[in-house]
Amino acid sequence: MSQAVGNTALAYARVWHHVDASDRILGKLAERIALVLMGKHKPIYDPSVDCGDYVVVTNSKKVKVTGRKAEQLLFRKHSMYPGGLKETPYKDMMGKNPDEIIRHAVSGMLPKNKLRERRLERLKIFPAHRMGIVGGNIMRSWDDGTLPPDFNPSTPTTSETLKMLGKQQSDKFTSAS
């Protein structure tokens, strides 16, 4: 019997996921990203093994929070010197560094162990829909969970380009009938 049984190299292969954060709720988005970074969506999941995937988040400027969190949420960091506490309100952080808001939320949802930093390194966050050369690695998009029939992995795809491809296909379908 030459069949591979159990965890193969293909099972541990890392896939690149794309998430468009436009009009998404911060907490629910961070929870889903943390599950993918940990690898809980795979059947080979083991808490002591880092088997998660890469996640690319675009449009981090457009993420939303519910309730009055926009006025009440504070981001704190300390320089470890007396009087070194820095507090930044959510609105200022959203203007200056929107990717840190998502990174902070995802970091809080990951287990506090030695694998945490390694998992966070696989999280790529971009404030707009452009993601540069990283877009060529995307295999799955979370907009609708499917890939277009003419998907080409060598060209970078974002939610904007997928919408344009879908619009072109619907135009072809209406002109053909």
| Contact present, 162 and 148 (Cβ < 8 Å) | yes
pLDDT of amino acid 4: 58
Of the candidates 106, 101, 103, the residue with the CA atom closest to the CA atom of residue 30:
106
Averaged over 122-134, what is the pLDDT? 88
End-to-end CA distance of the chain: 53
Q: Is this structure's pTM higher than 0.85?
A: no
Longest dimension (CA), the chain: 73
Tens digit of each residue's pLDDT (9 = 90 or more) over 20-65: 999 899 999 999 999 999 999 888 898 998 999 999 999 999 999 9
Is 109 a residue whose pLDDT tops 90?
yes
Is 148 a residue whose pLDDT tops 70?
no
Averaged over 148-165, what is the pLDDT? 63
Computed on alpha carbons and rounded to an integer, the radius of gyration of the chain in Å comes to 19
Q: Which sequence spans correspond to the domains of the chain? A: 11-66+95-139, 141-176
Confidence grade of residue 13 (pLDDT, cut at 50, 70, 90): confident
Q: Which fold has domain 11-66+95-139?
A: Ribosomal Protein L13p; Chain: A; (3.90.1180)
pLDDT of amino acid 112: 95
